Amino acid sequence: MSDTVKGRSFFHLHLVSDSTGETLIAVSHAVTAQYQGITSIEHMYPLVRTRAQLDKAISEIETSPGIVLFTLVDQELTQVLDEACHALGMPCLSVLQPIMSLFQSYLGTASTPRPGAQHILNADYFRRIDALNFTLMHDDGMLPENYEDADVVLLGVSRSSKTPTSIYLANRGIKTANIPLVPNMPLPRSVTKLKAPLVVGLFASPERIVQIRENRLLSLNATPDSAYVDRLAVADEVAQSRKLFAQNGWPMIDVTRRSIEETAAAIIDLYKVHRQKRAAEAAS
């Protein structure tokens, strides 16, 4: 049951994991986002792999009653946590168990319990690390001579979410370079001749760009640049960027009301089509 303090409702949310807890955090955030006006107070217990570690978590759960979500593959620890929550009268749910049961019924075989197995150092892991290194080295227009080695190249005016989107894509194993579009500064010629990477243009409404730029200047205690935050000047920047995207046949995405995750998902879809097209061209 949630409590109210100064007009705000909150509840305690206990996340118990035998790994980093990233799965629990992602799932719980996706659900709590659907409840407006209610805030979760998260209690995170990562790398719980012994009875002593679990007992410590249970003690804290008893002190701050709430919802308990867990990802434990050790059946003994799972049973201890289930019984403790039942005795305390608290709701307790294994986030992975329903999915694992579905997989088992379809595949006809049981899983092999491996705590933290999703974080194993395999080829996919190192591919993501390589993508992240590439993306950090090619942020904000750096090293243009390497753009042909990118999977995706993002273009957009200042404050159009290029860098955070690039980092998100890198975490998905996609090597991404991003290039700022600056008034009166031409693009490197190599950009319009790129063959291997998918080039995507990002833009937002002038009002949104101005708002973000003003907040950026305030955070830096910087003197406002009239052209940088002028509504008409920014509108012209955005219009010119969209004209450039259209002239080169580059797909463009309006990020005004999109989260970074939504923008990245749209780019990943475009990238899949781009790869299929290149594979077909190479085979013909």
Q: Is 161 annotated as a binding residue?
A: yes
User: 34 CB contacts (<8 Å, ≥6 apart)?
Assistant: none
Q: Is 40 annotated as a binding residue?
A: no
| Contacts by 77-82, CB closer than 8 A, 24 or more apart | 77/18, 77/48, 77/49, 77/51, 80/51, 80/54, 81/16, 81/54, 81/57
Q: Is 259 annotated as a binding residue?
A: no
Q: Is 101 annotated as a binding residue?
A: no
Q: Does residue 82 contact residue 54 with C-beta atoms inside 8 Å?
A: no
What is the DSSP secondary structure assignment for residue 118, as one 8-state letter?
Answer: G
Q: Does residue 239 contact residue 204 with C-beta atoms inside 8 Å?
A: no
Neighbouring-strand partners of residue 198: 152
Q: Is 159 annotated as a binding residue?
A: yes
Q: Is 68 annotated as a binding residue?
A: no
Task: Decide: residue 123, CB within 10 A, 0-12 exposed, 13-18 middle, 19+ buried.
Answer: exposed
Q: Is 156 annotated as a binding residue?
A: yes
C-alpha span between 17 and 12 (Å, rounded): 16
Task: Record the tokens describing residue 281, joined without a space.
Answer: 């061209």
Task: Record the tokens describing residue 27, joined without a space.
Answer: 């799932």
C-alpha span between 166 and 169 (Å, rounded): 5
Q: Is 89 annotated as a binding residue?
A: no
The number of beta carbons lying within 10 Å of the beta carbon of residue 198 is 24
Task: Decide: residue 86, CB within 10 A, 0-12 exposed, 13-18 middle, 19+ buried.
Answer: exposed
> Where is 4: in which H helix or E strand?
strand 3-5
Q: DSSP 3-state assignment of 100?
A: helix
Tokens 């090293």 sit on residue: 143
Which residues make up each annotated binding site for ADP?
156-163
Which residues make up each annotated binding site?
156-163
